[in-house]
Amino acid sequence: MKILFAALLISAPFVTSAAAPVDPIVPGKDYHSYADPSAFRVRHLELDLTASFEDQRLSGVADLTVTRISPDANKLVLDTRDLVIRQAWWVKSRSDLVPVRFTVGARDAMLGSPLSIDLPAEAKASELVIRISYQTRPEASGLQWVPAQLTADKTHPFLFTQSQAIHARSWIPLQDSPQVRMTFDATIRVPAGMRAVMGAESVTNPLELVPDGVFRFRMPQAIPSYLVALGVGKLEFRATGPRTGVYAESSIVEAAAKEFSDTEQMMEVSEKLFGAYRWGRYDLLILPPSFPFGGMENPRLSFITPTVIAGDKSLTSLIAHELAHSWSGNLVTNATWRDLWLNEGFTVYLQNRIMLAVYGERRAAMEEALDLQIVRRELETNPPSDQILAIDLRGRDPDDAFTQIPYIKGALFVSWLGSRFGVENVDRFLQEYFDHFQFQSIATEQFRAYLEAKLLPQKAGAVTQAELDEWMLAPGLPKYAVLPTSDAFDKVDGLRTDWLSGKLAAAQLPGKDWTTHEWVHFIDGLPKKVPANQLTEIDEAFALTNAGNSEIAFSWLRVAIANEYSPAWPRLENYLTTIGRRKLIKPLYEDLMKTPAGAERARAIYAKARANYHPIATTTLDATVHKASKR
Ligand code: BES
Ligand code: ZN
C-alpha cells in the first residue's frame, strides 16, 4: 500500500499571535536541514577519522556516495556546523581525484552552515563519490571531550558523540536529516591503549585491544544521520547474554553488567511482541556522568548514563526504552523532528509493554503512574501550541523544544487505542506497522493514513475521526484518555497524609520496604511547603539528602530548594557538579531561580559546574541561569 501525503497541507493549529500569519506546515518537509534530498541523496558514508584528545579534534576524510535524484542537479548541499573543511574532490575513480569548488555559507546559530559543492560538468553519473577532507573544532556541539578526572576510572579521557537531533553535522559533513538513510564503513584511529566503539558492527575483534589503536566498523543497515555514534575511552566489555553486553570503564563494568543483566530477557520479550530484532547485537555503552541524556538509542549500542546504575535495577526502564527504539525509531523513523512523537511516544508504549512482561504488573503500573504525573506537570507549564503531538518546530532548536509531551501523551494515545481495539490487536498492528515501514522515515500523516487503513476497519466505530483529531491536533489530554493507576501509590498517598497531619511519625512509615518508585511518588506528592521540623524528621529517618539513587535524590532536592532546607546544600552542589544529565539538573536550576537567594546559589554552582557539562546542556542552562540573573 502506498500512502500519499506530500500534497496534504495542514495549518499550524492554535497560533496565538494574530500579527504574524504562519505558512502552513508541509508534512514531511525537514525545516532543520539545508540539504535537498530531492536533488541528491547520500546512500553510503565512508569515514576515516583520527581522534586527538590533545587538540580535541576529529580529523580525516569522509567519502559520501550520493545518488542523483533530480537529473539536472549539479550542486550538492550538505549540513555542517563549525567544521573546518580543508578540501573536496569528486572521486572519478580510485586513482583519479578531481578537486571540486565548494563554499561554506553563513553560520546560523541553530542550523550551522550549508556546505555547497559544485559538481564538475563531467560528473554526470547517477551515482557519485565525493571526498571531503575536514576536521572538527573543540566546541563541536555533538562531541564531548571529557577529561580523565571526570570519568569513572580517572585515568584516561573519554570522547562520545551525541548526534540527535541535529548534531551529526558538527562532526561529519552530511545530509543531516532523519529522512536520509545511509550505510557506512568507518576507520577510527585512537591513542594506543584506548578503545573505539560505534553503533555498528565491529570488523576488528571487539574483545581484543587493538595495539595500533585502529578500529574498523561496518554498518550494513541504512540509518539516519542522527544515529551515527562513536565513543572512545579506556573501555572493557562484559557479556550479559548471547547477544547483549556492556562496555564500560573498568571500575564500573561489573556493576553495570549486574544492573543490566535483564537486557537479554528484554530483547526476547520485545521480539515476541514486535517482531525480529534486525540489528545483530545489542550492547550498552556506559558514559561518563556528563552525558546530557538518560540514554540514546544508537543502533546496536545504546549510550547510557551511569546515573541509572542504582544497585537494585530500579531504573532499568531506561534500557527497555532505548532497546524499544530498535523498532520505534531506528527501524521506522520520524521524517522530521515535528514527527518525533512517532519515535518517542511509541517507544514509551513499547517500553511499558516490556517492563510489564519482565517485572510484572505492580512495577509497570507505578512507572506509568509516575509518567502521568510528569506529563500533567508539563501540560500545565507549556503553551497550548507545545502540547500538540506533532509540534510545530519551525525556527526552533529541537533540543530546546522537546518536552515529555510527545513521549507520554504519545504513549497514552497508543494505550487508548489498546482500550478500544484490545491490547493484543494494537501490539499486532504495531508489529505490522514496523514491518511495513521498516528502514523508512515517515510523517505523522502517513502514520494516520496507515492507522485508518489497517487498524480502524478491525472494529468499525471503535474510535471516531474527531477523537483522532483531538489526540493528534489538540492541546492537553482528551477527557476519555485511559489513565494508569497504581494501588501501591494509593497506599503511599494515605501514609503521606497521615504523616503530614501528625498521625504517624516518620519512623512509623514503611519506607525501608519502599521501592524507588514509591519513594519518588511519596516525595513528589508532598505539598509545596513542608514544615522544617518534618523535613528534618524524615531526612533523619531515611537519609534522603544522602540518597544514592539519582531519581530519589532529584525529587528530594526539589523539595529542599522549595523549602530552603539548608542541610541539603552540600548535596545539591555535589549533585549538580557531578551529574550532567539535563533532565535531572535543569529543573533544579529552574527551581533555584525562583528566589533571589536561590538564584545566587544557582549562579555560584553553575560557575563551578559549567565546564563539566556537555554543550547540549550548557546551551539550555545558559539561558536558564542567565535569564534569572537579569531579574
Ligand atoms: N532519543 C532520546 C534522547 C533524545 C531525544 C536526544 C531527543 C535528543 C533529542 C532517548 O531515547 C530518550 O528518550 N531518553 C530519555 C529516557 C527515556 C526513558 C524517557 C532520557 O534521556 O531521559
Ligand atoms: Zn527515546
Reported as a single tens digit per residue, the pLDDT across 330-371 is: 999 999 999 999 999 999 999 999 999 999 999 999 999 999
**DSSP class per residue in 73-108:** --EEEEEESS-EEEEEEEEEETTEEEE--EEE-PPB
Instruction: Give yes or no for a contact between 556 and 547, defined as CB atoms under 8 angstroms apart.
Output: yes
> What distance in Å separates the CA atoms of residue 623 and residue 263, rounded to the nearest whole number?
38
> What does the pLDDT read at residue 22?
81
pLDDT exceeds 90 at position 243: yes
* Placement of cell 580543508 in the chain: 86
Question: What's the start-to-end Cα distance of the chain, in Å?
Answer: 57
Q: Whose CA is nearest to atom 8 of ligand 1?
A: 164
The pLDDT-based confidence of 274 (bands split at 50, 70, 90) is: very high
Atom of ligand 1 nearest to the CA of 583: 22
pLDDT band, very low/low/confident/very high, at 14 (cuts 50, 70, 90): very low
pLDDT at 297 exceeding the cut of 80: yes
Cα–Cα distance between 48 and 186 in angstroms, integer?
6
Give the whole-angstrom CA distance, residue 524 versus residue 373. Answer: 9
The response to whether residue 551 sits with its C-beta less than 6 Å from ligand 1 reads no
Indicate which atom in ligand 1 lies nearest the CA of residue 329.
Answer: 1
Query: For residue range 184-203, what is the model confidence (pLDDT) as tens digits?
Result: 999 999 999 999 999 999 99
The pLDDT of residue 627: 64
**Ligand 1 within 6 A of CB of 602:** no
- Say if CB 303 and CB 291 are below 8 A apart: yes
What integer pLDDT is reported at residue 47 of this predicted model? 98
- pLDDT of residue 13 exceeding 70, the answer is no
At 21 the pLDDT is 61
Neighbours of 456 (CB within 10 A): 19
**Cα–ligand 1 centroid distance for 293 (angstroms):** 6
What's the whole-number average pLDDT of the chain?
95
pLDDT at 4 over 50: no
pLDDT at 11 over 50: no
Cα torsion angle, 254, 256, 258, 262, sign:
negative
Contact 443, 336 (CB under 8 A): yes
Q: How far apart are CA 523 and CA 568, in angstroms?
A: 15
**Is ligand 1 within 6 A of the CB of residue 321?**
yes
Whole-structure pTM value? 0.96
What's the average model confidence in pLDDT over 257-266?
98
Residue type for position 96: D
Which ligand neighbours the alpha carbon of 316 most closely?
Answer: 1
- Which protein residue's CA is at the shortest distance from atom 11 of ligand 1? 296
Task: Judge whether residue 629 has pLDDT over 60.
Answer: no
Torsion of CA 371, 356, 438, 448, to 10 degrees: -50
The residues annotated with a catalytic role in the active site are 322, 407
Helix H or strand E segment including 117? strand 113-118
402 Cβ inside 6 Å of ligand 1: yes
Of 511, 515, 488, give the one whose Cα is nearest residue 312: 515
Q: Which residue has the higher pLDDT, 401 or 121?
A: 121
CA of 26 to the centre of ligand 1 (A): 26
pLDDT band at 54 (very low <50, low <70, confident <90, very high): very high
pLDDT at 238 over 80: yes
317 CA closest ligand 1 atom index: 18
DSSP alpha helices (H): ranges in 215-262? 250-259
Ligand nearest the Cα of residue 142 is 1
Query: From the CB of 322, is ligand 1 less than 6 Å away?
Result: yes
- Span 123-147, pLDDT tens digits: 999 999 999 999 999 999 999 999 9
Q: Whose CA is nearest to atom 3 of ligand 1?
A: 296
318 lines ligand 1 (CB under 6 A): yes
**What residue has cell string 489513565?**
483
Q: Which of 2 and 480 is assigned the larger pLDDT?
A: 480
User: What is d(CA 586, CA 553) in angstroms, rounded to the nearest whole number?
Assistant: 14
* Residue 131 grid cell: 571526498
Give the distance (Å) from ligand 2 centre to CA of residue 582.
14
CA of 441 to the centre of ligand 2 (A): 16
Given a cut of 70, whether residue 28 has pLDDT beyond it is: yes
Phi/psi at 199 (nearest 5 deg)? -75, 75
Give distance in angstroms: CA of 294 to centre of ligand 1.
6
Cβ–Cβ under 8 Å, residues 81 and 170: yes
